[in-house]
Structure 1
Amino acid sequence: MISLRTILLIASMIDALLLCTNALAQEKFSPKIKSASHARLAQQIQFSVAVRDPQKFKSQYQSKVVLVDFYETTRIFRISSSIDFVVHAFAADKNILFVDLLTRPHVESRNSTLNTALNRINKAKQLRPALRGHNMMISIKEQSFDKTDLDLRGRTVETSESPRVVSEHATAMATFIAGIGNTSEKGLGVANEAIVTASDFSDIFPDDVAYFDDYNILQQNHSYGTSIENYYGNEAVSYDEQVYSNPDLLHVFSAGNIGNSKPTAGDYHDLNWANLSGNFKHAKNVLVVTAIDTSLNRNPMNSRGPTFDGRVKPELTAYGEGGTSDAAALVTGMTALIREAVKNKTMPTSAALLKALLIASAEDVGDEGIDFTFGYGYINLWQAVQDVEQERFFNASLNHDEFKQFTITVPENVRELRIATAWTDPPSTVNALQALVNDIDSYLIYDEQKVLPWVLNHFPHSDSLSARNERRQDHLNNVELISINNPKAGTYQLVLYANLVSSAQDVAVAYSVKSADLAWDFPAMDEVIEADTRVKLFWNNPLDQRAAISMKLNEGEWNTIVDDVAEGETSVSWVTPDTLANASLRLEVGGKIIESPAFVISPRPKLTVPFVCDDVFALSWSPVAGASTYDLVTLVGDSTTVVRRANDTLFVGAKGANHFYTVQPRIESKTGLKADMINYNMQGSNCYVNLFSAYRFDDVSNKVEIHLSTHWNVSRVTFFLVDDNGMLKALDTQSPGKQKYFTFLDEHLTGEIMRYTAVVELVDGTRLSTEIVSVLVEQKNRAILFPNPADEFVTVLSEGDGGKLHIVDRQGRYLLSFELGTRIEEIDIARLSPGLYYFQYERAGNVTDSGRFVKL
């Protein structure tokens, strides 16, 4: 029996806990303000301030702080002031809800690479060529991208929100999202018919709704971060409110690249978890993305969850070897294609539905099930497209305390059933201890069994945060995932229950039934893969036993390329042969043969510019073995067009408006990889002569040399000596063959200056003369000073090695003396006053030459 004393003690402990909780909930200064260094206390810096009554705040403080901006929907001011003033003035002000120190954002990857195989983007686009994100407006919030970039031509719109500063990072993100591939396939984005526009991330709060409405923008990419900010701050509230008020608007954020950092405040302080870069990434209604490479490995620098209150962030994973920025851009492009697919069904495309579709169709990665590192899995775009086409999604609305039941039919031969429920939740109170407002509970019923969603342990300990997921009710997240491996065919009942603060809540549900049949995912149909390159081959399901892979080139024999693929694998690494060929692969497992679609293996040609003359230019490229012909491609307007189908590897054309060219080999009716597109004017090529020079080679000779840009059409090269009257004396004539470099040693040294030129004669008789170049030649026992007059330095030409030069004034006084070690030496005469001076050249103790010069 419990004593009265014990009961009172427990009651007092509960009261203390409640007091502590209320104090935490009402804390109005962010950890960044409380931990600011003493040196920053008086500095003028920017803050965000959430208030109850904006007019009252404005009238009370507009003369004391600088009001920079105001976000009406969330009643948040951006101000400039000092920490000293803010802490003392705002602490007791009940009108002020929360104050945060604004942090300058930074981009989150530097070395961007594009891979569209892992997330099955290639397969989706090859099998559904109409999915291109046609004319969908996508905003990129950071700095501006290069609107003249060849891969973004005709696909950009400038607005009043576009930043002035252009960055390579923003250009890479824009290219990943919507590049049109003019330069090569490396510049082909995910939604390559979308239109991109830029918005400035110097203000990290959401852009005004009018910006999105005026330009019909429904998606915005955010590949940047700030620092670890583990709280439900002003930015997080603002993004949640914006999406709640505009439910079709989707914000995609990179998780961050500060995975080696630990929080210094909050529940997860000093743990190597919960290091998302920015409190806006703790918003419920945005999509946060992390990255993996093609081997499904995570870079330790990638940030991971959970959020401040234990929710699952990041939600999804995509390829991003250069960082989570790249992954976010790919996901922004993929969501555009899914939105387009849903629109083709004439159905609404809320952000919650897009989330649900991508999560339901995703593939598990890392430890089995959901986790705080990879979220709900990595995106499988092809599976998501199929789910949309089969209409495996629906929208519903629930009132408080209401149950609703929905039927889901599962066919035979299904590897996995995944059901994602997502909703756009109302914003919570700023700095709330828990962000979720409306709680939707989901569970699945089949054969009188109740299957609950997957939930993670968010207790602040590394063992808990890395523990496997378990099935139980979720009261934290506004996304819930239920999955069943190898489900029985039949009818399942999805039950949703609403525990709401608001009167009603819209909910999006998507489900994916993944076939157990084995199929190739990469290479996709008509894929072009670079020769002599290590690539990853992908298929859709884990192998249930060991397997082998063989290859056939050009209707030849099947040859084994990988003789032992381990059980459970969904990919294997392979180095492509160095050839141009039509190819097929087959996967042999358990007596079954799964043949891939036909694809092309192609070397990448290298395009060079032999010459650029006044009226004509030439392009040449390395021959590709097996090529039947070559397509020469130029840029006309915003897109490329074939200007010539060639049998050889040289093109000579008249100069015109088009300066950009590339070439690609053909094999039968298919094309191989493009060479990287070049501007022939920017390759350093001249009109046949790239370099002509002459210089002193040794004691008895001058060396004259010429580098031609090409030997094509050249008949001969002649070297000439030019006398003082400009007359030419032929020294040597050479025929090129396939040679492009020619030299001549002139051993007849005369005079002080010897001048040389060369003439390149073409087959048609055209003569191209080089410039005239000079070589200074010393004379025995003599010294030559130049320039004359001279300023601070004068150059001496002599035999060097043992000679001396003396500077003498008009009274015969020796002022300066120099040892001459080389034929040409520059001597410092800055200390001399302006005027006329004499010099004496001495060798072996005798003055052998003299002269005069003027010092300026």
Structure 2
Amino acid sequence: MQAAPKEDEPLNNKSRANSRANILNSSLPGHYNLSGAGVVVGVGDALEPTQHIDFTGRLINRSAATPNNHGLHVMGTVGAAGLVREEYAGYAPKATLVAQQFAGILAYTPDYIQDYGMVITNNSYGNTVDDCVTFGQYDFYARMMDLQMIQYPNLQHVFAVGNSGLMNCSPYLPGFANVLGGYQTAKNTIQVGNANTQEIIDPSSSKGPVKDGRIKPEITAQGIGVLSTIAVNRYGSMQGTSMAAPAVSGGLALLYERYRQSHGGTNPKNGLMKALLVNGATDKGNPGPDFSYGFGWLNLLRSVRMLDNASYYNSVVSSGATNTHTITIPAGASIAQLKVMLYWNDAAANIMAAKTLVNDLDLTVTEPSGTIHLPYVLDSSPSNVNNAAVPGIDNTNNIEQVVIDNPTPGNYTFSVKGTTIPSGNPYEYFLVYDTIPVSTTLTYPVGGERLQGGDAVYIQWDSYGNAVNDFTIQYSVDNGANWTTVPNGANVSSGLRQLAWNVLPDSTEQARVKIIHNGTGIESISERFTVIPVPVITLATTPNQCEGYISIHWNPAAGATDYEVMQLQGQEWNSVAITTDTAYI
């Protein structure tokens, strides 16, 4: 019998860049211009969303909660428009947002799917946050979540994994086996861990394994120092897995939008989206999956490229049978890594089951040479939970991954075996793969950003292959005619993928950044971005204000030749005038 759980408790500018969502948002040639438009995301939390202008025109408010900055902050990371400060826009600034109090979003899921077309929910709460007995327990709530993922195949629930990482649950190593029970222990949902801007896991982030040894969380995102919406019409910083989960939910909204663009407006299956999202993650912590980061750090650029390249299969396998899928790495291709992931929405297990895996499928990958690769497997025994994963047969998880470094050209065979399928009926699975080329790509800034001198940002990049070569990072204020190495930008360690930078004080609309992968001949250069001070707007003295219009003044910005005055009309800022003056009526 399950004890009655406690009540639910609440548990960006840099977040969008370090997950590569900025590239999905960017309208530059070769980027994606995604905003979440038309995608409906439910946010279960304590919030009064009408306290911020950033949700104007896109809000379905079903929340009766007392005003609370926690929920407002979470919703902003998913889909704030950035109307007050554009740099604090959320991941999906044009998504439609359904507000509901905590787990009410789950209880009303069938209605919100039917009435509004909801396809994603974000859930930054848990019900028992301080009890090792219930941590990782597969209970009634976990079973209900698994049932919903199968009943509503286009819906994806996302949960914060919990902030109980500092609790020690003997006999496990300190800091492990403290994933919240209930919702967070479901097999078919997505659980999110919390790390800082430098992508280092925060000690407070709950870590696996869950009771039956499964991997949780599956993925990690920034949850420390996240700037997002707070009351009233302001932005503030908060931290926790509550702040990491909406990065994943907002990122999923962009992937749903992209899928619809290439599939006639239809919604993807939740299993495909989960597999693409998790397989796209950048490995962190121990090699392969681990109980801290899951399969790694959110990297939406890798996920959307798998989606665009149709690097996936959706099929069924019968009990005892083996399906094969073959891809070819062409001769002359320079591939740094091949990542293959098998995922299936598993049937709901019995409440309090000692082992929750019902259907056991198994993945192997065969190289052109005949070498067979098994998926990564973790040791969930209490004293070994921090050990690195090793290849083996996984009879515990409904998600498996094979990674091959520097794969040679030729045919690769992915085999999916229906090891145990109790129903006897063919069972659905999703198989996704990523062939990552040897490359170095600047991911922030990319061009089009509007910064001001002194802004503290991180120059960020992805790099695959040539692992021992370090980097040089330079900037230009004249569209690349001349380059200067940024402070600490010479011989940047080969293992780093970001560098702190205080933006140059110059006023220019021709700023660019370049990264050089030393010794390889590979370099990547941003498009132009703007650096200029932000004017401070003030209202003219009272006698100059009359009904029907206002008179505004602003201080001159060094380097500015003119000013564009804009007015908020509906959900958009629209231009009403361009002037060389520093006042407008």
Name the structure 2 match of 1:342.
Answer: 259
Which whole-Å deviations, capped at 9, do the CAs of 1:60-117 have from their partners, x for residues lacking one? xxxxxxxxxxxxxxxxxxxxxxxxxxxxxxxxxxxxxxx3212111112xxx866211
Question: Do the aligned residues in 2 keep the contact of 1:459 with 1:465 (CA within 8 Å)?
Answer: yes
Q: Which residue of 1 aligns with 2:233?
A: none
Are positions 1:329 and 2:246 aligned together? yes
CA distance in 2, matches of 1:535, 1:113: 9
Give the Å deviation of 1:583. 1.0
2:412 is aligned with 1:492: yes
Q: 1:414-462: CA deviations, max 9, x gaps?
A: 111111111111100100001110011000011211100011110012x
How many angstroms apart in 1 are the aligned matches of 2:6 and 2:457? 40
Structure number with the higher strand fraction is 1
Structure whose alpha-carbon radius of gyration is higher? 1
For residues 163 and 490 of structure 1, the distance between their equivalents in structure 2, rounded to whole angstroms, comes to: 59
1:535-554 matches, cutoff 5 A: 535-541=457-463, 544-554=468-478
- Using structure 1 for the length normalisation, give the TM-score: 0.61
Q: 1:295 aligns with which of 171, 179, 198?
A: 198
Task: Name the residue aligned to 2:276.
Answer: 357
Letter in 2 for 1:517: S
Give the corresponding residue for 2:436. 514
| Residue aligning to 1:772 | none
Q: Taking structure 2 as the reference length, what is the TM-score of the superposition?
A: 0.89
**Partner AA of 1:401 in structure 2:** G
Structural mapping, 1:193-592, within 5 Å: 193-201=94-102, 206-226=107-127, 227=129, 228=131, 229-230=134-135, 231-263=137-169, 268=172, 271-321=174-224, 322-346=239-263, 349-411=268-330, 412-446=333-367, 447-461=369-383, 464-498=384-418, 499-502=420-423, 503-541=425-463, 544-555=468-479, 556-561=481-486, 562-581=489-508, 582-588=510-516, 589-590=518-519, 592=521
For 1:134-149, list aligned pairs within 5 A.
134-147=37-50, 149=52
Structure 2: runs of 5+ lacking an equivalent: 225-238
Contact 1:316 1:359 in 2 (8 A): yes
**Contact 1:140/1:198 (8 A) holds in 2:** yes
The answer as to 2:572 corresponding to 1:639 is yes
Q: Which has the higher contact order (CA 8 A, sep 6+)?
A: 2
Matched to 1:224, the amino acid is Y
Aligned residues of 1:305 and 1:314 also touching (Cα < 8 A): yes
SS in 2 for 1:325: helix
Instruction: Report 1:65-214 matches (<5 A).
Output: 99-108=2-11, 115-126=15-26, 127-147=30-50, 149-159=52-62, 162-201=63-102, 206-214=107-115
Contact kept in structure 1, 2:24 and 2:33, CA below 8 Å: no
Residue-by-residue CA offset, 1:197-231 (whole Å, 9 max, x unaligned)? 11222658643523322221111100112314231
Q: Which amino acid aligns with 1:572?
A: L
Distance change >3 Å, CA 510–CA 145, structure 1 → 2: farther
**Equivalent residue, structure 1, for 2:563:** 630
Q: Distance between the aligned counterparts of 2:95 and 2:254, measured in 1?
A: 9
Q: CA deviation at 1:635?
A: 1.4
The letter of the residue matching 1:341 is R
What is the Cα-based RMSD across aligned positions, in Å?
A: 2.1
Residue 422 of structure 2 aligns to which amino acid in structure 1?
V
Q: Which residue of 2 aligns with 1:808?
A: none
The residue that corresponds to 1:741 in the other structure is: none
Q: Distance in 2 between matches of 1:202 and 1:478?
A: 25
Distance across 1 between alignment mates of 2:380 and 2:403:
20
Give the secondary-structure state (helix, strand or coil) at the position aligned to 1:235: helix
Encode CA deviations 1:300-336: one digit per residue, 9 max, x unaligned.
Answer: 1111111111111100111221221121111101111
Deviation per residue, 1:203-260 (Å, 9 max, x gap): 5864352332222111110011231423111111111111122222110001112211
* 1:396–1:224 CA distance, 2 compared to 1 (3 A): same
Q: Secondary structure at the match of 2:122?
A: strand
Q: C-alpha separation between the residues in 2 aligned to 1:285 and 1:395?
A: 16
Q: 1:612 to 1:471 in 2, by over 3 A?
A: farther
Q: Indicate how the Cα distance of structure 1 residues 319 and 304 shifts in structure 2: closer, same or farther if over 3 A, else same.
A: same
Identity rate of aligned residues, in percent?
Answer: 26
Q: Tell me which residue corresponds to 2:535.
A: 605
Shift in CA distance, 206/285, structure 1 to aligned 2, threshold 3 Å: farther
Q: Distance in 1 between matches of 2:267 and 2:74?
A: 27
Mapping of 1:702-781 within 5 angstroms?
A: none
Asked if 2 retains the 8 angstrom alpha-carbon contact of 1:235 and 1:280, the reply is: yes
Are the counterparts in 1 of residues 338 and 434 from structure 2 also a CA contact under 8 Å?
yes
- Equivalent residue of 2:459, what SS? strand
- The structure 1 segments of at least 4 consecutive aligned residues displaced by more than 4 Å after TM superposition are 202-206
Assess if the C-alpha contact under 8 Å between 2:194 and 2:201 holds in 1: yes
Contact in 2 for aligned 1:314/1:375 (Cα 8 Å)? yes
User: Structure 1: which 5+ residue stretches go unaligned?
Assistant: 1-27, 29-98, 654-856
Cα pair 2:139 2:181 within 8 Å, conserved: no
Q: How many residues align?
A: 545
